[in-house]
Structure 1
Amino acid sequence: MKRPRTVAPKGTPGPPSEGAGHSYQTRIATAVVLLVTVLSLPPLLRLMRPDGLRTE
């Protein structure tokens, strides 16, 4: 025997979406990647100058 499907009344909030947590984690990860990239650019550019390159 099938159980009747329960439907929440209109205007009732549903279960919290899991997408909100993933969105937050994605924003934090993106911010960390951008921060590390920006902080590593000056040393990288300094090493790439002709006087910073080593020749043997």
Structure 2
Amino acid sequence: MGVKVGDIRHKTPIDTWAGDFAPGADPERRSYASMADLADPDGNTWTLQEIHS
């Protein structure tokens, strides 16, 4: 059993909310730039983001 995770996308440009999303991971692999969505069995939607410490 598992959940289906949507396609990975990245924010472009990352430094502003203007703009859009492009398919695939952020080419520079910056924290919070790449994301994917999933829904749990209760119907809640979650967004996963790539971060680096």
TM category, shorter: under 0.3
Q: Which has the higher strand share?
A: 2
RCO comparison, higher one (Cα < 8 Å, 6+): 2
TM-score by length of 1: 0.18
Higher Cα Rg: structure 1 or 2? 1
TM-score by length of 2: 0.19
Q: Which has the higher helix share?
A: 1
